[in-house]
Amino acid sequence: MASLFERLKSDCADDWRDYTHHEFVESLGRGDLPSAAFQDYLVQDFLFLIQFARAYALSIYKSRSLAEMRGGLDGLKAIMDVEMDLHIRMCDRWGLDAVDLEKVPEKSQTVAYTRFALDAGNAGDLLDLYVALAPCMIGYGEIGARLADQQGDDNTYAEWINEYASPEYQELVSATIANLDELAAVMMTEARYPQLKLLFAAATRLESDFWQMGLDAAASEA
């Protein structure tokens, strides 16, 4: 039987492909993404991660057991201790430290996506929240693994790609997929599935908008 994630991914195949094979992603893999596009994306993604961390903190509050709380804590620690460190390390090379990054205004795409995820969790239960977060947590792992197999040795963006292709992040992806299945076994009915699919599809499209934001920023500077 397919996992809940695989079912959602299959039923939202067009949106998923648009997200995971967006021109931003493909250019990142080739190493020819304009630096302005990547820098704009990475700064906004740092701001995104602040709100994403809040969403995982909310998952701890929404949890019904210590095991679920520990799962939420693992996700929160991965964001704050791994992903944020990557962003700060890379942005520091452009003269932006963590204090500077927090002062950058959020763009509309950042606000739209992060508040969507937080609203899904606040209005719904733990399964709603994790379905809304799944395209980011799982999609980045899928993208990182695919690009790592394709990139050349001198790819400018190898550090970013290798972070999401790393065994540690891939383990987090597997745990996220398994967690969705555990929650679905208890909390999902077929009558509920269409609403979960709507959440997943919307979050996936918001991911694509986030990539496009970076390309648009580079185009405006050209």
Instruction: Give residue 82's pLDDT.
Output: 87
CA-to-CA distance for 164 and 25, rounded, in angstroms?
A: 13
Q: CA 201: distance to chain centroid?
A: 14
Residue 103 class from Cβ within 10 Å (0-12 exposed, 13-18 middle, 19+ buried)?
exposed
Contacts of 52 (CB under 8 A, 6+ apart): 79, 114, 117, 133, 136
Q: Domain spans of the chain?
A: 4-217
Is 210:28 a contact under the CB 8 Å cutoff?
A: no
Instruction: Give residue 222's pLDDT.
Output: 57
Q: Which CATH class is domain 4-217?
A: mainly alpha
Is 49:83 a contact under the CB 8 Å cutoff?
A: yes
Contacts of 168 (CB under 8 A, 6+ apart): 82
CA-to-CA distance for 42 and 79, rounded, in angstroms?
A: 14
Instruction: Give residue 188's pLDDT.
Output: 93
**Torsion sign over Cα 94, 97, 100, 101:** positive
Q: Mean pLDDT in runs of 10 for the chain (222 residues)?
A: 91 98 96 93 94 94 92 90 90 87 93 93 94 95 94 85 93 93 94 97 96 90 64
Instruction: Give residue 113's pLDDT.
Output: 93
Enzyme catalytic residues: 136, 207
Give the pair of three-digit tokens for residue 19: 């997200």
Instruction: Give residue 95's pLDDT.
Output: 87
